[in-house]
Amino acid sequence: MAMSFASLGEHYAIDLPGARAAFTTRHGGVSTPPYDALNLGLATGDDPARVRANRARLAVELGVGFAYGRQVHGAGLLVAAAPNPPGEGPAVADAVVTATPGVGVLVVTADCLPIAIAGGGAVAIVHAGWMGLAGGVIAAGIAAVRELGSGGPLAAAIGPGAGPCCYEVGEELHARFAAYGPQVRRGRNLDLPLIARRQLEAAGVADIRALGICTICADPALFFSHRRDHGVTGRQAGVAWLT
Protein backbone atom coordinates (compact mmCIF):
# COMPACT_ATOMS: atom_id res chain seq x y z
CA MET A 1 0.00 0.00 0.00
CA ALA A 2 1.44 3.40 -0.96
CA MET A 3 1.08 5.99 1.74
CA SER A 4 2.04 9.62 1.64
CA PHE A 5 1.46 12.65 3.84
CA ALA A 6 -0.87 15.42 2.71
CA SER A 7 -2.11 18.67 4.19
CA LEU A 8 -5.31 18.62 6.22
CA GLY A 9 -6.13 22.26 6.84
CA GLU A 10 -3.18 23.53 8.89
CA HIS A 11 -2.07 19.99 9.74
CA TYR A 12 -0.48 16.88 8.21
CA ALA A 13 -2.46 13.72 7.51
CA ILE A 14 -1.87 10.27 6.08
CA ASP A 15 -4.16 7.37 5.19
CA LEU A 16 -3.45 4.00 6.80
CA PRO A 17 -5.25 0.67 6.23
CA GLY A 18 -8.86 1.44 7.21
CA ALA A 19 -7.79 4.50 9.16
CA ARG A 20 -6.36 7.99 9.00
CA ALA A 21 -3.80 9.79 11.13
CA ALA A 22 -3.34 13.53 11.62
CA PHE A 23 -0.38 15.34 13.13
CA THR A 24 -1.24 18.86 14.21
CA THR A 25 0.79 22.04 13.96
CA ARG A 26 0.53 24.96 16.36
CA HIS A 27 -1.69 26.90 13.93
CA GLY A 28 -5.38 27.59 14.35
CA GLY A 29 -6.04 27.81 18.07
CA VAL A 30 -6.89 30.42 20.68
CA SER A 31 -3.96 30.14 23.10
CA THR A 32 -1.68 33.12 23.64
CA PRO A 33 2.15 33.26 23.78
CA PRO A 34 4.16 31.23 24.62
CA TYR A 35 1.47 28.61 23.99
CA ASP A 36 0.19 30.10 20.75
CA ALA A 37 -1.93 29.05 19.19
CA LEU A 38 -3.25 25.46 18.99
CA ASN A 39 -1.87 24.18 22.28
CA LEU A 40 -3.50 20.81 22.99
CA GLY A 41 -1.61 19.99 26.20
CA LEU A 42 -3.57 20.30 29.44
CA ALA A 43 -0.43 19.66 31.53
CA THR A 44 1.16 22.98 30.57
CA GLY A 45 1.08 26.48 32.00
CA ASP A 46 -1.64 27.48 29.55
CA ASP A 47 -5.18 28.42 30.58
CA PRO A 48 -7.05 25.06 30.65
CA ALA A 49 -10.14 26.72 29.17
CA ARG A 50 -8.13 27.72 26.11
CA VAL A 51 -6.72 24.21 25.76
CA ARG A 52 -10.22 22.72 25.96
CA ALA A 53 -11.39 25.19 23.33
CA ASN A 54 -8.49 24.16 21.10
CA ARG A 55 -9.34 20.49 21.54
CA ALA A 56 -12.99 21.17 20.76
CA ARG A 57 -12.01 22.99 17.56
CA LEU A 58 -9.82 20.09 16.46
CA ALA A 59 -12.50 17.50 17.28
CA VAL A 60 -14.97 19.34 15.05
CA GLU A 61 -12.39 19.67 12.28
CA LEU A 62 -11.57 15.95 12.34
CA GLY A 63 -15.13 14.78 13.04
CA VAL A 64 -14.23 12.53 15.99
CA GLY A 65 -14.37 12.47 19.77
CA PHE A 66 -11.04 12.09 21.58
CA ALA A 67 -9.85 9.20 23.71
CA TYR A 68 -6.56 9.75 25.51
CA GLY A 69 -4.55 8.78 28.55
CA ARG A 70 -2.45 10.61 31.10
CA GLN A 71 1.02 10.34 29.62
CA VAL A 72 3.94 9.38 31.87
CA HIS A 73 6.59 8.32 29.29
CA GLY A 74 5.76 4.69 29.97
CA ALA A 75 4.29 1.76 28.06
CA GLY A 76 0.81 1.71 29.57
CA LEU A 77 -2.09 1.06 27.20
CA LEU A 78 -5.67 2.30 27.09
CA VAL A 79 -8.26 0.42 25.03
CA ALA A 80 -10.97 2.96 24.19
CA ALA A 81 -14.49 2.07 23.09
CA ALA A 82 -15.70 5.66 23.43
CA PRO A 83 -14.32 9.18 23.83
CA ASN A 84 -13.18 10.24 27.29
CA PRO A 85 -16.13 11.26 29.51
CA PRO A 86 -16.22 15.02 30.22
CA GLY A 87 -14.72 15.96 33.56
CA GLU A 88 -13.25 12.52 34.29
CA GLY A 89 -9.50 12.20 34.77
CA PRO A 90 -7.86 9.97 32.17
CA ALA A 91 -6.17 6.68 33.00
CA VAL A 92 -2.38 6.49 32.81
CA ALA A 93 -1.45 5.45 29.27
CA ASP A 94 1.06 6.36 26.58
CA ALA A 95 -0.62 4.21 23.92
CA VAL A 96 -4.31 4.37 23.05
CA VAL A 97 -6.09 1.91 20.77
CA THR A 98 -9.62 1.59 19.44
CA ALA A 99 -11.74 -0.49 17.11
CA THR A 100 -14.71 1.89 17.41
CA PRO A 101 -15.59 4.27 14.57
CA GLY A 102 -15.88 7.90 15.60
CA VAL A 103 -13.23 7.61 18.32
CA GLY A 104 -10.02 9.53 17.67
CA VAL A 105 -7.19 8.16 19.79
CA LEU A 106 -4.87 11.02 20.77
CA VAL A 107 -1.45 11.68 22.26
CA VAL A 108 0.25 15.05 22.77
CA THR A 109 3.93 15.68 22.12
CA ALA A 110 6.57 18.39 22.03
CA ASP A 111 9.67 16.45 20.81
CA CYS A 112 8.59 12.86 21.55
CA LEU A 113 7.31 10.93 18.54
CA PRO A 114 3.59 10.44 17.88
CA ILE A 115 3.22 7.12 16.02
CA ALA A 116 0.01 5.82 14.46
CA ILE A 117 -0.41 2.08 13.81
CA ALA A 118 -3.39 0.60 11.95
CA GLY A 119 -4.73 -2.50 10.25
CA GLY A 120 -7.44 -5.12 10.50
CA GLY A 121 -10.09 -2.72 11.74
CA ALA A 122 -8.15 -1.29 14.69
CA VAL A 123 -5.93 1.75 15.15
CA ALA A 124 -3.52 2.97 17.83
CA ILE A 125 -1.59 6.13 18.59
CA VAL A 126 1.62 5.92 20.61
CA HIS A 127 3.62 8.55 22.52
CA ALA A 128 7.26 7.53 22.13
CA GLY A 129 10.19 9.44 23.55
CA TRP A 130 13.34 7.66 24.54
CA MET A 131 11.73 6.30 27.71
CA GLY A 132 8.77 4.91 25.82
CA LEU A 133 11.02 3.41 23.15
CA ALA A 134 13.15 1.77 25.83
CA GLY A 135 10.08 0.60 27.73
CA GLY A 136 8.26 -1.10 24.86
CA VAL A 137 5.39 1.28 24.14
CA ILE A 138 5.50 0.53 20.40
CA ALA A 139 5.26 -3.22 20.99
CA ALA A 140 2.33 -2.63 23.35
CA GLY A 141 0.48 -0.60 20.72
CA ILE A 142 1.10 -3.17 18.00
CA ALA A 143 -0.04 -6.06 20.19
CA ALA A 144 -3.25 -4.22 21.03
CA VAL A 145 -4.02 -3.46 17.37
CA ARG A 146 -3.51 -7.12 16.52
CA GLU A 147 -5.66 -8.27 19.43
CA LEU A 148 -8.53 -5.90 18.61
CA GLY A 149 -8.28 -6.24 14.85
CA SER A 150 -9.12 -9.03 12.44
CA GLY A 151 -5.59 -9.74 11.27
CA GLY A 152 -3.72 -8.77 8.15
CA PRO A 153 -0.79 -6.44 7.59
CA LEU A 154 -0.24 -3.33 9.66
CA ALA A 155 1.07 0.07 8.61
CA ALA A 156 2.53 2.89 10.69
CA ALA A 157 3.14 6.62 10.40
CA ILE A 158 5.74 8.46 12.46
CA GLY A 159 4.89 12.10 13.07
CA PRO A 160 7.07 15.10 13.92
CA GLY A 161 9.56 14.85 16.75
CA ALA A 162 13.15 15.40 17.79
CA GLY A 163 15.39 14.45 14.87
CA PRO A 164 18.94 13.10 14.65
CA CYS A 165 20.00 16.58 13.55
CA CYS A 166 19.30 18.02 17.00
CA TYR A 167 18.61 15.39 19.66
CA GLU A 168 21.84 15.41 21.67
CA VAL A 169 22.00 12.91 24.55
CA GLY A 170 24.57 11.56 26.98
CA GLU A 171 26.62 8.39 26.75
CA GLU A 172 24.21 6.49 29.01
CA LEU A 173 21.42 6.84 26.45
CA HIS A 174 23.71 5.99 23.55
CA ALA A 175 24.67 2.82 25.39
CA ARG A 176 21.04 1.98 26.08
CA PHE A 177 20.22 2.00 22.35
CA ALA A 178 23.54 0.66 21.03
CA ALA A 179 21.93 -2.67 20.10
CA TYR A 180 20.08 -0.90 17.27
CA GLY A 181 23.36 -0.41 15.44
CA PRO A 182 25.77 2.45 14.77
CA GLN A 183 23.32 4.17 12.43
CA VAL A 184 21.16 5.35 15.33
CA ARG A 185 24.07 7.44 16.61
CA ARG A 186 24.94 10.71 14.83
CA GLY A 187 27.92 11.99 16.78
CA ARG A 188 26.42 13.06 20.10
CA ASN A 189 22.90 12.86 18.69
CA LEU A 190 20.43 9.98 18.83
CA ASP A 191 18.09 9.06 15.97
CA LEU A 192 14.75 8.41 17.68
CA PRO A 193 12.78 7.98 14.42
CA LEU A 194 15.20 5.29 13.23
CA ILE A 195 14.93 3.45 16.55
CA ALA A 196 11.14 3.61 16.24
CA ARG A 197 11.32 2.31 12.68
CA ARG A 198 13.47 -0.62 13.73
CA GLN A 199 11.10 -1.50 16.55
CA LEU A 200 8.14 -1.38 14.16
CA GLU A 201 9.95 -3.56 11.65
CA ALA A 202 10.97 -6.05 14.34
CA ALA A 203 7.30 -6.39 15.28
CA GLY A 204 6.33 -7.16 11.68
CA VAL A 205 5.16 -3.75 10.46
CA ALA A 206 6.47 -3.51 6.90
CA ASP A 207 4.83 -0.30 5.66
CA ILE A 208 6.24 2.61 7.65
CA ARG A 209 6.24 6.28 6.68
CA ALA A 210 7.85 9.15 8.59
CA LEU A 211 6.97 12.81 8.25
CA GLY A 212 10.64 13.59 8.76
CA ILE A 213 10.31 17.02 10.37
CA CYS A 214 12.37 17.79 13.48
CA THR A 215 10.41 19.75 16.05
CA ILE A 216 13.59 21.29 17.48
CA CYS A 217 14.97 22.92 14.32
CA ALA A 218 11.79 23.35 12.24
CA ASP A 219 10.23 26.79 11.95
CA PRO A 220 9.28 27.65 15.56
CA ALA A 221 5.90 28.82 14.29
CA LEU A 222 5.14 25.29 13.03
CA PHE A 223 5.64 23.00 16.04
CA PHE A 224 6.09 23.22 19.79
CA SER A 225 9.42 21.93 21.13
CA HIS A 226 10.16 21.27 24.78
CA ARG A 227 13.91 21.30 24.24
CA ARG A 228 14.05 24.35 21.98
CA ASP A 229 11.75 26.37 24.23
CA HIS A 230 13.38 25.23 27.50
CA GLY A 231 10.24 23.56 28.77
CA VAL A 232 7.89 26.53 28.43
CA THR A 233 5.81 25.50 25.44
CA GLY A 234 2.58 23.90 24.29
CA ARG A 235 1.84 20.49 22.82
CA GLN A 236 0.81 19.33 19.36
CA ALA A 237 -1.11 16.10 18.88
CA GLY A 238 -1.11 12.90 16.96
CA VAL A 239 -4.64 11.63 16.34
CA ALA A 240 -5.76 8.44 14.57
CA TRP A 241 -9.23 7.11 13.78
CA LEU A 242 -11.00 4.50 11.68
CA THR A 243 -12.33 5.55 8.29
pLDDT tens digits for 143-200? 999 999 999 999 999 999 999 999 999 999 999 999 999 999 999 999 999 999 999 9
Least confident of 33-37, 77-81, 83-87: 83-87
Q: Which residues contact 152 (CB under 8 A, 6 or more apart)?
A: 17, 119, 120
DSSP characters for 213-240?
-BTTTS-TTT---TTTTTT----EEEEE
Strands 113-119 and 11-16, by their bridges, are unpaired
Domains of the chain: 10-242 (3.60.140.10)
DSSP characters for 87-136?
TPPPPB-SEEEE-STTEEEEEEESSSEEEEEEETTEEEEEEESHHHHHHT
